[in-house]
Structure 1
Amino acid sequence: MNVSADVDVVTQETFDAEVLGADRPVLVKFTADWCGPCRQLKPVLAALATEEGDRLKVVEVDVDNNPEITVRYGVLATPTLMVFQAGEPVKSLVGARPKRRLRQDLEDVLG
């Protein structure tokens, strides 16, 4: 179910396997169809997924269709970007940002 480049849509049913069980860090974008900044972030994350696919998996979760995940991780705003490593959330970023800034924010995860 590819949305764009390498950004897969994850649901309540697939979250644990796709995110918590991943073999590399996972950047989860908590998003909504009605969210303008989320749409702005889409090409940025698609590019990041393409460029860093070997080091970082990028997925998105629709907050309206997956309220259980949204509540579980305390997501209050969209877009929220959350990085998971070894099944645990290790970083949370709220709001859209240009690719250069996102890379800076993810430097510690990307190494």
Structure 2
Amino acid sequence: MNEMELMQIKEFVKDMDKQQKIVYYEQKKKNAGIAVLLSVIIPGAGQIYLGKVGKGIILFITTGTLIAFGLLLSLLVIGIPLLLLGVLLFGYIVFTTPISQQKITMPNFMK
């Protein structure tokens, strides 16, 4: 750090109490790149690494909930139309094929 950065930090922390200063300096020691990498792997893990545990947990829960809701919604959005398409296709085949061409045979146990 150069002299200018040190002056800016001192000016920034002058009104903080002791606990806030400790948290600030601990965060300054942490590597931002590691925080980003952790957040990419597990949402909220970077915040927890930086000491912001509450924010990290909220991000983890929120992201997990949104992902689960998105998966459920995508299954409904894709699954229901495919089911309807299958039913319509089956109905079309059954009702457009003449009965004379439908080879329906009774099972042996019913004869």
Tell me the TM-score normalized by structure 2.
Answer: 0.22
Higher helix share: 2
Tell me the TM-score normalized by structure 1.
Answer: 0.22
Specify the structure having the higher radius of gyration (Cα).
2
Higher relative contact order (CA 8 A, sep 6+): 1
